Amino acid sequence: MGINATPSATPAAPPSTSARALAFDTLGAVLEQKRPLDDVLEGNPDRDRLAPRDRGFARLLVATTLRRLGQIDRIIDGCLDKPLPRRAAAVRQLLRLGVCQLLFLETPPHAAVDTTVELIAGRGGGEAGFKGLINAILRRVDRERAAWLERTAEPALNTPAWLWESWAATYGIERTGEIAAAHLREPPLDLTPKSDAAGWRDRLGATLLPTGGLRLALDGPIESLPGFAEGAWWVQDAAAALPARLLGDVAGRRVVDLCAAPGGKTAQLAAAGADVIAVDRSAPRLERLRSNLTRLGLNAAISIADATLWQPDQPADAVLLDAPCSATGTIRRHPDVPWLKQPNDVAKLTALQARLLQAALTMVRPGGLIVFCTCSLQPEEGPAHIDALLRNDAPVERVPIQPGEVGGLDSLIDTNGDLRTLPCHLSELGGIDGFFAARLRRR
Ligand SMILES: C[S@@+](CC[C@H](N)C(=O)[O-])C[C@H]1O[C@@H](n2cnc3c(N)ncnc32)[C@H](O)[C@@H]1O
């Protein structure tokens, strides 16, 4: 039987300072204002007033709600006799957080229900009148949890249809199911050490991945980890660390890092001894790159410019282009991405990527290498660019990637010799982000 969406009372609103209140404000900002999750959290002064544990809980609660959004909404709708009125957007956000805690975060039922009801009571306005409805729905979901989980187990439910269809057409339905399943899991923390990977593995109690990076489970701020203050490592997904390595030995080489900020790949190139020029058009992001390099004790020349127009003083030995993209390969770490991006974003980014790639080709000397990469699962943002270049007789040839360059994992290399990682790869070790990279040599 459904539950009726009728308001009943209107109490006053206290300031929002608790972890759940932060989660509530954040979820609304992501889903209603279409703002990126981490920007919203970092820009909220309430977050700084919370203990690190509470901050962590707030992010986990919002992230898990976003990972399971389709499923959670199906459950909420199944409990309603009639749709929630438009003015009750906040009620839906609260229900989403309540259902998420009950079904996916192992929050004790009384805590999940009571704290959600307290939050609505504290909001004032028309929403507070939905207290009875929220209470009834959450109690019902708790009573019928096994049935709801069974009824909403379809793998496609938590992925917007346009993404599911694109992945199914590109990778097949079975792989798409595995990708979607990988998006449901909280990812581990990946670090790239500046040097002495085995030593830092031991000091951090980390796993040394076949691809060379370190992996650990962390429940707390990264600043507390050994090696942070001395700049021994930086945070970088294991897949994101692969493209820079495809340039081979860069010691003493002039390497242009295009679209460089916040600088994970710049740091890799600088640590490997390259003479790096990091180019990005965003001043605030370059400021982050600068402070990251300072902490790491690494150097790079920095240029703030539109990379479609910029040129180096002399042709580079190599160019790494990590083009802006839809970031659908990073949904594990950024579960807001599916709910923020639209197909027309992919179309706009694809056009920009093509211009950036054309510009990159003009920056490198004959015989020099170009690595083009994106953290996208969309074929338009990866292999389609390389196909188009080769079809149109651009002055480049593909230099196929060998398994030995990616930790011996030939499953990460496609039939063309390009890198194609998927979130379901290395699942036994906790997965990796989805990245595409192709290596080209300038003729
Ligand atoms: C995927 S991020 C780069 C991540 C970076 N390579 C790293 O490893 O840390 C894409 C970057 O492209 C930059 N960008 C977007 N359009 C650009 C353009 N036309 N010229 C230069 N940079 C651009 C953005 O500011 C953003 O920092």
Mean pLDDT of 34-42: 96
Q: Is the model's pLDDT at 175 over the cut of 90?
A: yes
Total residues found in the chain within this entry: 443
Query: pLDDT tens digits, residue range 109-129?
Result: 999 998 898 888 777 667 778
Ligand 1 contacts CB of residue 112 (under 6 A): no
* C-beta pairs of 166-173 under 8 Å, 24+ apart in sequence: 166/377, 166/378, 166/379, 167/377, 170/377, 170/378, 170/379, 171/377, 171/422
Residue whose CB lies within 8 A of the most ligand 1 atoms, among 246, 281, 291, for a mutation test: 281
pLDDT of res. 71? 98
- Distance (angstroms) between ligand 1 centre and the Cα of 280 equals 6
Nearest C-alpha to atom 6 of ligand 1 is from which residue? 260
- Over residues 11-31, mean pLDDT: 74
Q: Are the C-beta atoms of 130 and 295 separated by less than 8 Å? A: no
Ligand 1 center from residue 354 Cα (angstroms): 14
| The pLDDT of residue 4 | 39
CB of 105 within 8 A of CB of 64? yes
Nearest CA to ligand 1 atom 1: 324
pTM for the whole structure: 0.94
pLDDT digits (tens, 9 = 90+) for 205-219: 999 999 999 999 987
pLDDT digits (tens, 9 = 90+) for 358-384: 999 999 999 999 999 999 999 999 999
Q: Which residue's CA is minimally distant from atom 2 of ligand 1?
A: 324
Please tell me the predicted confidence (pLDDT) of residue 324. Answer: 98
Q: Give the residue carrying structure tokens 């002055």.
A: 395
pLDDT at 86 over 90: no
Work out the pLDDT band at 221, boundaries 50, 70, 90. Answer: confident
CA of 303 to the centre of ligand 1 (A): 12
How large a percentage of the chain has pLDDT more than 70? 96
Pocket lining: 381 vs ligand 1, CB cutoff 6 Å? no
Judge if the beta carbon of residue 355 lies within 6 A of ligand 1: no
The predicted pLDDT at position 13 comes to: 29
* 308 C-beta closer than 6 A to ligand 1: yes
CA-wise closest residue to 370 among 350, 395, 347: 395
Whether 260 lines ligand 1, by a CB cut-off of 6 Å, is yes
pLDDT tens per residue, range 298-329: 999 999 999 999 999 999 999 999 999 999 99
Ligand 1 within 6 A of 261 CB? yes
Whether 243 lines ligand 1, by a CB cut-off of 6 Å, is no
Q: What value does the mean pLDDT take over residues 150-160?
A: 96
Mean pLDDT (the chain) is 93
- Cα–ligand 1 centroid distance for 360 (angstroms): 13
Task: Determine whether the shortest distance from the Cβ of 194 to ligand 1 is under 6 A.
Answer: no
Q: How many CA atoms lie within 13 A of 412 on its CB side?
A: 30
Model confidence at 191, pLDDT cuts 50, 70, 90, reads very high
What positions carry a catalytic annotation?
Answer: 375
104, 147 Cβ separation under 8 angstroms: no
Residue to probe by mutation, ligand 1, list 247, 259, 277, 381, most atoms within 8 Å of CB:
259
What digits encode the pLDDT tens for the residues 250-302? 999 999 999 999 999 999 999 999 999 999 999 999 999 999 999 999 999 99
pLDDT in tens, 41-70: 999 988 888 888 889 999 999 999 999 999
**So what's the pLDDT on residue 119?**
87
Is any atom of ligand 1 closer than 6 Å to the C-beta of 190?
no
pLDDT at res. 51: 86
DSSP characters over 426-439: TGGGT----EEEEE
pLDDT at position 6, please?
35
Over range 380-404, report the average pLDDT: 98
Test site for ligand 1: of 265, 279, 280, most ligand atoms within 8 A of the Cβ: 280
Least confident of 5-9, 10-14, 177-181, 241-245: 10-14
Ligand 1 atom closest to the CA of 375, numbered from 1:
1
Which range, 77-81, 85-89, 109-113, 123-127, is most confident? 77-81
Q: What is the pLDDT of residues 413-424, one digit of tens each?
A: 999 999 999 999
Give the three-state DSSP class for 254: strand
- How many angstroms is it from 235 CA to the middle of ligand 1? 17
- 322 C-alpha vs ligand 1 centroid, how far in Å? 7
In this predicted structure, the answer to whether residue 407 has a pLDDT above a threshold of 60 is yes
Q: Which of the 8 DSSP states describes residue 122? A: T
pLDDT at 288: 97
**If you measure from the C-alpha of residue 388 to the centroid of ligand 1, how many angstroms do you get, rounded to a whole number?**
22
Residue 285 Cβ < 6 Å to ligand 1: yes
- Model pLDDT, residue 174: 98
